[in-house]
Amino acid sequence: MSAEIVNPTDGLDDDVIDPAFALHRGGKMAVRATVPVRDADDLSLAYTPGVAKVCSAIAEQPELVHDYTWTSQVVAVVTDGSAVLGLGDIGPAASLPVMEGKAILFKQFGGVDAVPLALDCREVDELVETVARLAPSFGGINLEDISAPRCFEIEQRLKERLDIPVFHDDQHGTAIVTLAALRNAARLRGRQLGALRAVISGAGAAGVAIARILVEAGIGDVAVCDRKGVVSEDRGDLTPVKRELAGFTNKAGRTGSLESAMTGADVFIGVSGGTVADEAVAGMAPDPFVFAMANPNPEVHPDVAARTASVVATGRSDYPNQINNVLAFPGVFAGALQVRATEITEGMKLAAAEALAAVVADELDADRVIPSPFDERVAPAVTSAVAAAARAEGVARR
């Protein structure tokens, strides 16, 4: 006998329903027409026979699809539900509330239309093929909540196959915002990025991308740690992704545990969960920066970090300096779509981070090294910087 399915709001009065369920009932999105269909004339233009002229023109000149459909203004938010927020592998259906939320954030903070696509496939080949076949309907692909290490291969193969931006937000959105906050923390304390040594706890999607962008930005040194300690070239148990990671990080050749790597470090960045011992934080360099970004429980509690650190950031909205991807991805895609970019390059990501940091560069204090997601200056600044970088790097089509 199958278990009875219980709706958590059945039998409850509206005033006692959990507000999260109340808000999500019926979904958080809808499709809205941008042209009127008031009479037969409108209908004949919006649909047959008028639409046939536009279809024929696109068939003859495929690039016209960007001018005469919504393609150049819409992003697919794609997941397989394998690594959803702090919930883990909950599957495609259960991931949809998150994907809907992502889509409304695209619209709210970047003016970009987005469509959530939760795909019931797990094999890398199948997922890549499915997204590639869907791609003609979209101007960009935002990969979301796909588990590592599969996410790296999926993104790389789609980037090689498609001529539209492909962006795994768990990697690159997190990296952009982290770099922006670190730039401002260094500015606030009169320090140079190139003089800092960072330690990252977590060698998954976010950890790898943060390490890469910090190296691109000129960090003095960065070591990345997984469950077995520092990802170093002398280890024989590394995946291909971690082997590549070891090749461009850890210039000092450190080995051993996370705690040993943190000794004397200027920066701690946590994207792994778990708990870092108070003693490890206390053993860092004087006035370090602690970015403990695991949700809902940071690797280092902010109150503990504040005893030692001169700047503390988390992934939570109830503490200062929230490292929130919504500061990056709406503007990144808005800028890329604005110029019909064929890809999102490392230079575009660096430009996004610098523009984001600059929003509050004249307003810095220890509790404000990164803007609020509700700062209306953020999306225009990031959009403009990304569009300009795309043109400079030759990946813009207009």
Binding residues for (S)-malate, by number, are: 295, 324
Given 28, 53, 68, 102, which residue is catalytic?
A: 102
- Which residues sit opposite 222 in a β-bridge? 198
Element (H or E) spanning 103, and its range? helix 91-110
For the residues of 66-99, what is the DSSP string, one character each?
Answer: HHHSSGGGEEEEEE-SSSBTTTBS-HHHHHHHHH
Calpha distance 10→183 (Å, rounded): 50
- Tokens standing for 230? 């520092």
Could you confirm whether 102 is annotated as catalytic?
yes
Please state, in angstroms and rounded to a whole number, the distance separating the CA atoms of residues 298 and 276: 9
Among the listed residues 28, 47, 228, 349, the single catalytic one is: 47
Amino acid identity for residue 362 in this structure: D
- What are the respective helix, strand and coil percentages of the chain, to the nearest 5? 45, 10, 40
Contact 113, 107 (CB under 8 A): yes
Binding residues: 144-145, 170, 295, 324
319 is catalytic: no
DSSP string over 330-381: HHHHHHHHHTT-S---HHHHHHHHHHHHHHTTTS-BTTBSS--TT-TTHHHH
* Closest among 297, 285, 329, 61 to 189, alpha carbons compared: 285
Q: At 51, list the tokens.
A: 């639409």
Distance CA(277)–CA(331), nearest Å, equals 37
* Three-state DSSP class for residue 201: strand
Residues 6+ apart with CB under 8 A from 244: none
**Cα 312 from Cα 94, distance rounded (Å):** 33
Residue with tokens 């699809």: 65
Give the residue numbers of the binding site for a divalent metal cation: 144-145, 170
Secondary element (H or E) of residue 329: helix 329-338
Per the structure block, which two tokens stand in for 82? 């394998």
Catalytic residues: 47, 102
